[in-house]
A and B are shown apart, each in its own frame.
Chain A
Amino acid sequence: MQDTVVVQMVNITKHFPGVLANDSVNLILHKGEVLALLGENGAGKSTLMNMLVGLYRPDSGEIYVNGKLAEIHSPQNSMALGIGMIHQEFMLVGNMTVAENIVLGMKGLQLIPPLDEIKAKIRELSTRYSLSVNPDKYIQELSVGEQQRVEILKLLYRGAQILILDEPTAVLTPGESRDLNEIIKKMLAEGKSAIFITHKMDEVMEFSHTVQVLRKGKCINIVPTNTIKKIQDLANMMVGRDVLFTLDRGPYHPTGTKLEVRNLTIKLPGSNRAALENVSFRVNGGEILGIAGVAGNGQQELTEAITGLRRITSGEVLINGKNLTNHPPLDVIKNGVSHIPADRGKMGIVGDMSVGDNLAMKKYRTRELSNHLVIKKNKMRSFADRLIKVFGIKTPTRETCAKFLSGGNIQKTILAREMDNCKGILIAVYPSRGLDVGATETVRQNLIKQRDSGSAVLLVSEELEELQMVADKIAVMFEGQIMGILDVKDATTEALGLMMTGVSRRQA
């Protein structure tokens, strides 16, 4: 590692209405270095980086790039300085090819771009950094991992020297993460540098040279990664208190099947591909069945099929022994199924309605909150107040629009609504996705509480660590099929990782 400073951010302060997102933060990035920005959600990591690429402007403070004071007003400015960012949501156009996406929006492009030259350059970059992508393929045909490579290529093509990656491994399989690590190492060898936004400790250890911890907008510590002895220290630094890595859970007492699916198959309309193929399993009361697998291998379809949101081509869904195959969602709800959906903002809450209304969205049908016709507003208010208190939802008032809450508090709102009303079966899809350590802990503890009280819990997660910590059994999904179901004591990361890439249990 050389000692040349490529980026220096000095005393950066940024206010949002009511929030101090960054409070006099300093940052130094050396040439050939990977800096990990570690912090909980809302710690100010993304804000800081968005200022470096010109999406926000700091209220005060200065940014120096290669020793020169930089005025960064837009991503174009930052790109000209060699700084590029890969956001969590990829900025790619699905029905255009890789090559077209890579040059899309570039300045100085001819009216009809010389695609052959462009492709040649892309191929050259691909081989140099082992970023294998076919430039003629359409984005929608690519896996998430491949799409990420296209994003990286896009930046390299534009001559980026400094890459900012916002939680890049959130969408990758363990194997793909390793590949990403290799790619980054090759880039460093060429004198490029990277900043890595993350809230995962193991990633910090694996990828970075230096780690900078942010908490509530302030820089807490900057340490060389190789001096860190225990991951626990890092977590405590990030959260500001001791973090529990083990969760209290009662003994495993399965009480008989509550949820069962038999030979579930869902054919996608207009194609022979099946989103789900012959999926069967049972979940007992007092048991958490984890579903592992890379997102997009049928997990969402599975949970939507159970909750009545998606039509099943063949197979059966049995809830408390009752056949509810292809019944409307309301029937499923009435038979005791609670659902924490995958997409909080789109499926879990109505952002433009108040927190109180959102909390009542399941229970408003019951005698407690309404008679047949009219809603009991007073009861609804006290009900909301109770849940806000019990679940520790941080909201200015119960009348605040739900969309103004942080991700963690939105999830707590959903959790409160679904758990308070849970009558035996809970389906949780990526419940801790994108949440910080504190909120994740709350979510996991509540799942276990639900299990200990005798509910059957189906937990879909992409984090093996979470499943190993919380679940009693783990099923692995790959391309719409279940590759096997393991007891948690047999479910090593290696075994699960293999199954996630399509090796069935017997083969493994």
Chain B
Amino acid sequence: MMTFLVPVCSLIISLLLGAIVLRASGANPLKAYFAMLRGAFGSRTKFQYTIREAIPLLMCGLAVGIAFKLKFWNIGAEGQYVFGVIGITWVMQFWTWLPKGMMLPVALLMSLVFGAFWGGIPGVLKAQWKIDETLTTLMMNYIATGIAEYLYITRWKAPRGNMGTVDYPSYAWLPSFWGKIHYGVFFAIALVFILYFVMYKTRWGFELNMIGKNPRAAECQGVSIKKNIILAMLLSGAIAGLAGGIEAAAVTHSLTKGVDNGYGFTGIIIAWMGGLNPFGSILVSILMAALKTGSDALKIMKLPAAMGDVLQGLILLPLLAGSIFTDYKLLFIKKQVAVGEAKK
């Protein structure tokens, strides 16, 4: 009950808080929200844009969720996503000897491997030497972005222009099937089902649950914490990397500026709001995507489009505060005053 109520209430609170911010910047909050809603879902194309935006968000949310299940605070999905894009770009650019039909599958696989590699490093560091993962995963985001920048500005730069690689061969693009919505959406949905199955039905999911809730007891039962941290981080990184690969293969078609556009970070909010439940993440990722696509409509009202980011951030705060209500029960007790005399 509470696990459902708290996200909904925090959404409402964050909308109220957002209204204050909107009011302060001189807009009518109701009108602004309505404009955002129309901007996100107001027409077929807008709806398609929103869904397209939700695909990488959902996948990053799922990726982060796996690590969070283990209480491994992977805030490096952003870097793993970028590394996935580097991986796919490498294949698309240089493995041109591949048969045409093999190009896309191999390239996607490479994005997955690159993501897993980038996620695996902090996993190994934590498992072997207990190096704090919040620091390593966060820092590795900047390294990944730096490497990507180096590549698209120097080594892999297209002959024309001053940054960005050439577009991938068009036969290897991930096609769309309905307007802007591409086949990546099926990957994302399939992943939801797969992860749900893994988490709740398999032995490995049972072990991850044990480790996340009491690592010491899990160890006593013969569950290897080291092995599972590394496995979970490989998987987490792989999914984030694949998210990057799919987005690059279907939408951007190259590695260029803006590859680090925050999907990995927003994934943290998605995993958290979805209650680490894969199905919950679907709704939340659409919501987050809508906040992003809808915020473009604010520009028309002469408001900064960054308002969408502000609202995204505002959602997490009441949610974190609200976890008090899911974790604890509040009771209100009347204060009583005792009266009487000492009994002899």
Contacts and interface: CB of A to CB of B under 8 A. Distances in A.
Given A64-B343, A361-B210, A375-B202, A329 B219 contact: yes
Contacts of B340: 62, 69
A346 B203 contact: no
Given A64-B342, A68-B342, A361-B210, A350 B218 contact: yes
A223 interface: no
Contacts of A57: 336
B255 to A, nearest CB: 37
Contacts of A351: 213-214
Contact of A357 (B206, B223, B341): B206
A341 B220 contact: yes
Between A68, A309, A346, A361, the greatest number of chain B beta carbons within 10 A of the residue's beta carbon is seen for: A361
B93 interface: no
Interface stretch (A208-216, A362-370, A387-395, A474-482): A362-370
Interface string B222-240: 1110000000000000000
A348 B201 contact: no
A258 to B, nearest CB: 19
A412 to B, nearest CB: 16
B217 interface: yes
Contact of B214 (A60, A68, A352, A375): A352
Contacts of A109: none
Given A68-B342, A361-B210, A349 B217 contact: yes
Given A328-B222, A329-B219, A347-B220, A10 B343 contact: yes
Between A60, A332, A365, the greatest number of chain B beta carbons within 10 A of the residue's beta carbon is seen for: A365
Given A329-B220, A352-B214, A71 B338 contact: yes
A242 to B, nearest CB: 36
B31 interface: no
Contacts of A347: 216-217, 220
B136 interface: no
A8 B214 contact: no
Contacts of A64: 342-343
A374 interface: yes
A375 B206 contact: yes
A333 interface: yes
B213 to A, nearest CB: 4
Interface in A308-353: 309, 328-330, 332-334, 339, 341, 346-353
Interface residues of A, number: 40
B48 interface: no
B209 interface: yes
A373 interface: yes
Contacts of B220: 307, 309, 329, 339, 341, 347-348
A67 interface: yes
B203 A361 contact: no
B96 interface: no
A365 B218 CA distance: 13
A357 B200 CA distance: 12
A362 B220 CA distance: 10
B221 interface: yes
Contacts of A348: 217, 220
A405 to B, nearest CB: 15
Contact of A374 (B201, B214, B224): B201
A362 B217 CA distance: 11
Nearest to A304: B220
Interface string B188-220: 000000000000011110100110011011111
Between A68, A309, A353, A370, the greatest number of chain B beta carbons within 10 A of the residue's beta carbon is seen for: A353
Contacts of A10: 343
Between B210, B216, B221, B336, the greatest number of chain A beta carbons within 10 A of the residue's beta carbon is seen for: B221
Contact of A69 (B214, B221, B338): B338
Contact of B210 (A330, A353, A370): A353
B217 A364 contact: no
Interface string B328-344: 00000000101011110
B187 to A, nearest CB: 22
Contacts of A60: 336
B342 A361 contact: no
A347 B210 CA distance: 11
Given A8-B343, A346-B214, A349-B214, A362 B221 contact: yes
A375 B338 contact: no
Given A353-B209, A361-B221, A373 B342 contact: no
Interface of B: 201-204, 206, 209-210, 213-214, 216-224, 336, 338, 340-343
20 contacts: A10-B343, A64-B342, A71-B338, A307-B220, A328-B224, A330-B222, A346-B214, A347-B217, A349-B217, A350-B209, A350-B218, A351-B213, A357-B206, A357-B209, A361-B217, A364-B203, A365-B203, A373-B204, A374-B202, A375-B203
Given A69-B341, A328-B224, A361-B217, 5 more contacts: A8-B343, A62-B338, A62-B340, A350-B214, A353-B210
**Top 3 A-B residue pairs of the complex, sorted by shortest distance between their CB atoms:** A330-B222, A350-B214, A333-B222
